[in-house]
């Protein structure tokens, strides 16, 4: 019996050591596994569908009743993926909405073909995604680069967008305060600059986590660089097309967004007739993640409003303290 217990103890110790080594070598992969388990436990499913000639990955969450008030499609940003909407998906679904969060072409678990990653390509991919899943006219939300894609979709396919939601959205010209290589750092100092640009309170990461993050960023850098090249070319900017947007529009912005300034959100609000601008005080570019609770509440107020919210502007004070 003692020998058996000793063998079991050694096996448990080895398993713990193996887990520790795995986490040390691949902390982001372990974190992804934990996140996916939490999403699965919350009823969020992972699927693939053929869209624009590719097998796109997407997340889906149904409301508890099974009879959704409406469908919501959430489009992620540069270097991101559908799972970055994880803080909002369960709550929106629980409130009665059918949620879809695709990985754009080149990102997340979707294919990474050797193509120019323009906003036009990503918009066509989203249209094909809507067609493949027979989503006639959902509410559409876009975050950062995903907001640019959502803006194009609302202008070029107005019959496919019921209501529009923009979170710290790209798509308008503004004088950049950063170099384009910000998004593909090669060392810890560059990673620190990136984290400071997207968050007013960047999280401290142990060195081995920083190194794993750098490896991941470098693996994806060629796609990010092509997306950035398409954006900075200016060919697809939406500055002079905002007046074409007729859908009720929610614009959410972090007051401390050092990547895309609040002034861009204010210009979007001014250019879109039926828009509401909500400023999250104390939040940065990652407002839907770092300030998810007030962002979720604001989003639900907008989605549930019948008739739609009257155009206006307001600030949520100390939004970053609601988490």
Question: pLDDT tier at 297 (50, 70, 90 boundaries)?
Answer: very high
102-155 pLDDT, tens digit each: 999 999 999 999 999 999 999 999 999 999 999 999 999 999 999 999 999 999
142-196 pLDDT, tens digit each: 999 999 999 999 999 999 999 999 999 999 999 888 888 899 999 999 999 999 9
pLDDT over 70 for what percent of the chain? 91
| Domains of the chain and CATH, by start | 43-317 (3.40.50.1820)
The whole-number average pLDDT for the span 302-318 is 95
**Helix axis angle, 221-232 relative to 207-219, nearest 10°?**
60
The whole-number average pLDDT for the span 287-296 is 96
**pTM of whole model > 0.85?**
yes
- The average confidence (pLDDT) of the chain is 91
Nearest of 120, 126, 168, 176 to residue 144 by alpha carbon = 168
Question: pLDDT tier at 19 (50, 70, 90 boundaries)?
Answer: very low
The whole-number average pLDDT for the span 266-272 is 98
- Give Cα 14 to chain centroid, integer Å: 38
Question: pLDDT tier at 22 (50, 70, 90 boundaries)?
Answer: low
How many other C-beta atoms can be found within 10 angstroms of the C-beta atom of residue 119? 23
2: pLDDT strictly greater than 50? yes
pLDDT over 90 for what percent of the chain? 82
Phi-psi group of 265: left, alpha or beta (phi > 0 → left; psi -120 to 50 → alpha; rest → beta): alpha
Which contiguous run of DSSP H or E holds residue 293? helix 292-304
24: pLDDT strictly greater than 90? no
Query: What token pair was written down for 44?
Result: 């969020």
The whole-number average pLDDT for the span 73-82 is 97
The whole-number average pLDDT for the span 218-241 is 94
């Amino acid at each position: 019996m003692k020998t058996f217990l000793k063998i079991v103890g050694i096996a448990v110790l080895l398993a713990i050591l193996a887990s520790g080594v795995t986490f040390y070598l691949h902390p982001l992969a372990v974190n992804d596994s934990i996140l996916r388990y939490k999403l699965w436990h919350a009823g969020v499913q992972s699927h693939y569908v053929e869209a624009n000639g590719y097998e796109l990955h997407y997340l889906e969450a149904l409301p508890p009743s099974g009879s959704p008030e409406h469908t919501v499609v959430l489009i992620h940003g540069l270097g991101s993926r559908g799972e970055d909407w994880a803080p909002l998906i369960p709550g929106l679904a629980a409130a009665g909405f059918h949620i879809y969060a695709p990985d754009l072409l080149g990102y997340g678990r979707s294919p990474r073909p050797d193509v120019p990653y323009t906003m036009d390509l990503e918009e066509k991919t989203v249209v094909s995604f809507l067609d493949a899943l027979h989503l006639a006219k959902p509410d559409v939300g876009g975050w950062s680069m995903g907001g640019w894609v959502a803006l194009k979709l609302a202008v070029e396919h107005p019959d496919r967008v019921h209501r529009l939601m923009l979170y710290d959205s790209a798509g308008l010209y503004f004088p950049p305060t950063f170099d384009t290589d910000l998004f593909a750092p090669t060392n810890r100092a560059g990673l620190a600059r990136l984290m400071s640009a997207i968050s007013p309170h960047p999280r401290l990461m142990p060195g081995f986590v920083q190194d794993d993050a750098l490896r991941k960023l470098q693996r994806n850098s060629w796609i990010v660089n092509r997306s950035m090249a398409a954006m900075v070319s200016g060919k697809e900017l939406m500055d002079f097309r905002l007046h074409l947007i007729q859908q009720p529009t929610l614009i959410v912005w972090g007051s401390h967004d050092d990547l895309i300034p609040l002034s861009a959100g204010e210009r979007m609000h001014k250019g879109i007739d039926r828009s509401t601008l909500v400023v999250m005080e104390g939040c940065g570019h990652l407002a839907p993640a770092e300030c998810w609770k007030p962002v979720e509440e604001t989003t639900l107020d907008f989605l549930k409003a019948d008739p739609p919210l009257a155009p206006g502007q307001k600030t949520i004070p100390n939004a970053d303290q609601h988490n």
